Amino acid sequence: MKDWEGLLGVAGWPELGAWEQWMQYALEGGGKRLRPKLVWETYRLYAPHPPALEEALPAMRAIELVHTFTLVHDDVMDRSDLRRGRPTIHKLTDEHTAILIGDALMIAAYEALADLKPSTTGKILRHLARGALRVCYGQLLDLELAKRPTAAVRIEDYLRMIREKTGALMGAAMAMGGLLAEREPELIQALQEAGEKLGIFFQVQDDYLDAYSTRTGKALGGDIVEGKRTFLWLWAYAEASSEVRALMEAPERAQERREVVLKLYYEPAFAERAKAFLEARFAEVREAFLALPHGEILWESVKVLYGRQG
């Protein structure tokens, strides 16, 4: 574990009384700590002086708190039983409690930003707030797409939704690192865009693993049960028979369709196409990172998180 990882949840929130334990439970849920890592690695690369952890830590804490808030609320919205192999907060308590714990995590994020040095506070606060708003927009797009008939959803709609839902906060993490280093606006924008492409890849990979891996801590094909308009769902619908299309569009047959649609996903040509789509998104991330000044350094620190060598 990195030296800074143990410092992310050091703060306490006694104002919540006994319910504080659920904030800590959410923060202790594992994961790669990718967003604070992106803040730190970007700041460390571009700082005009030797980087100081105490300068970056408030921003690192804040973005992890915001990310954790999104997970808690996402689990409620998706009715998820597990998150990284552990029971979700709303399953251990109830939905109302989980929503309030998520709210508290978001509030705590802005408290953490109060410890930034004054010269960077305003810009970082605004950038994180805009990123969090875009996450909410992405969640709303996700809900809206789920209400549409699948035939009315395009792959472009899916990519736009995941750029907002997942890419925006990844981009904000990298931009915040640049803002901590007090770098020029052009670099901040390039960092935001590279982070967004990383977030798109991250979500495409998540959607891919939902169908093809049991290592996520969730049941295989959960997105199929929920009727999420992922790239896999859109492709399967385009190739499916009229009977299977009717099954996919019937909410009351959600559990029944899991096995049927997974069979489509596991057709060799389909699975190969899905893997190629994932690899293409990975290549886009690599290109964006290597276009940054000294971007190969950032790339080396990120690619290992995905077990990649190239």
Whole-number Å distance between alpha carbons of 271 and 97? 40
The pLDDT value recorded for residue 35 is 95
Q: Domain span at residue 49?
A: 12-306
- Which of 203, 192, 219 lies closest to 292 in space, CA to CA? 192
Task: Write out the chain in H/E/C secondary structure.
Answer: CCCCHHHCCCCCCHHHHHHHHHHHHHHCCCCCCHHHHHHHHHHHHHCCCCCCHHHHHHHHHHHHHHHHHHHHHHHHHHCCCEECCEECHHHHCCHHHHHHHHHHHHHHHHHHHCCCCHHHHHHHHHHHHHHHHHHHHHHHHHHHHHHCCHHHCCHHHHHHHHHHHHHHHHHHHHHHHHHHCCCCHHHHHHHHHHHHHHHHHHHHHHHHHHHHCCCCCCCCCHHHHHCCCCHHHHHHHHHCCHHHHHHHCCHHHHHHHHHHHHHHHCCHHHHHHHHHHHHHHHHHHHHHHHCCCCHHHHHHHHHHHHCCCC
Residue 47, in any domain of the structure: yes
Q: What is the CATH number of the domain that holds 263?
A: 1.10.600.10
Number of domains in the chain: 1
Residue 29, in any domain of the structure: yes
pLDDT surpasses 70 at 51: yes
The larger pLDDT score, comparing residue 250 to residue 82, is at: 250
245 CB-near residues (< 8 Å, 6+ apart): 150, 237
Question: CA dihedral in degrees (76, 79, 30, 287; nearest 10)?
Answer: -90
Whole-number Å distance between alpha carbons of 17 and 228? 37
Residue 68, in any domain of the structure: yes
Residue 172, in any domain of the structure: yes
pLDDT for 8-33, tens place per residue?
765 789 999 999 999 999 998 867 79
The pLDDT value recorded for residue 294 is 96
Average the pLDDT over each of 20-29, 121-130, 275-284, 298-307 and give the range with the smallest value: 298-307
Residue 218, in any domain of the structure: yes
Residue 5, in any domain of the structure: no
The pLDDT value recorded for residue 31 is 75
pLDDT surpasses 80 at 263: yes
pLDDT surpasses 60 at 1: no
Residue 106, in any domain of the structure: yes
pLDDT for 131-170, tens place per residue?
999 999 999 999 999 899 999 999 999 999 999 999 999 9
Distance, first Cα to last Cα, the chain:
24
Please, which residues bridge with residue 82 across strands? 87
The pLDDT value recorded for residue 215 is 72
pLDDT for 212-257, tens place per residue?
987 766 678 989 998 999 999 999 999 999 999 999 999 999 999 9
What is the average pLDDT score of the chain?
A: 92
Residue 188, in any domain of the structure: yes
The pLDDT value recorded for residue 310 is 41
